[in-house]
Amino acid sequence: MANPIVTEYRAERRHLVESLQSQGISDLAVLRAIEMTPRHLFVPSGIGRQAYEDRPIHIGLKQTMSQPSIHARYLEIAALTGKERVLEIGTGSGYQTVLLAHLAEQVFSIERVGPLLERARQAIQACGVRNVSTLLGDGTIGWRAYAPYDVILVSAGGPSIPQPLVEQLAEGGRMLIPVGDQEEQVLALITRREGKVERRDIAPVRFVPLKGTHGW
């Protein structure tokens, strides 16, 4: 029997996918993950239909869930194959966490705001994914117990690249992180090869500030 939580707003999710395709998102795995994930579970109650509009949504506790096109481009750049161990810094609503669960083998996600993480955990559980582990803590120091990671995705903008996260990248691993001031950043792709770090700047972005020992 189909999960009613997942089947609800199915038409809206299909329309969102078509909108993302028209904006140039072509990674079929990313589009499929978005179509599979009930985004309305991750927004405040009463605005379920708005969850499928391409705009950011305030989720309380001074936090914002990025618009779907930002998530889609972010994940398209990450180029996941389904075999990766991924570390997500900033669980937030948990929406991107579930997208990652459909795109990677195992997801580890850290959130520093307790009430936000509790809500995210409930939504993640409702989606039925089983390959996600979450932690309440300082994301800028990573989650060393399960390192190294093939991919690290940082969902907030920091003043620099946290060294502990670099150290927890696997050989050949890559990290996406917004770097800049608290108003505007550039999305940087960090790759670790033979102990050295390569950086390639992708595009200007605007994320919430990265808080923690190695953040703001």
Active-site residue flag, 109: no
The residues spanned by each domain of the chain are 4-205
Q: What confidence score (pLDDT) does residue 64 get? A: 86
Q: What confidence score (pLDDT) does residue 60 get? A: 84
Q: Are 199 and 178 in contact (CB under 8 A)?
A: no
- Fold annotation for 4-205: Rossmann fold (3.40.50)
- Tell me, what amino acid is at 79? A
Lowest-confidence segment of 42-46, 115-119, 196-200 by average pLDDT: 42-46
Q: What is the value of pTM for the model shown?
A: 0.94
pLDDT tier, 1 (very low <50, low <70, confident <90, very high otherwise): very low
- The catalytic residue among 26, 45, 66, 69 is 66
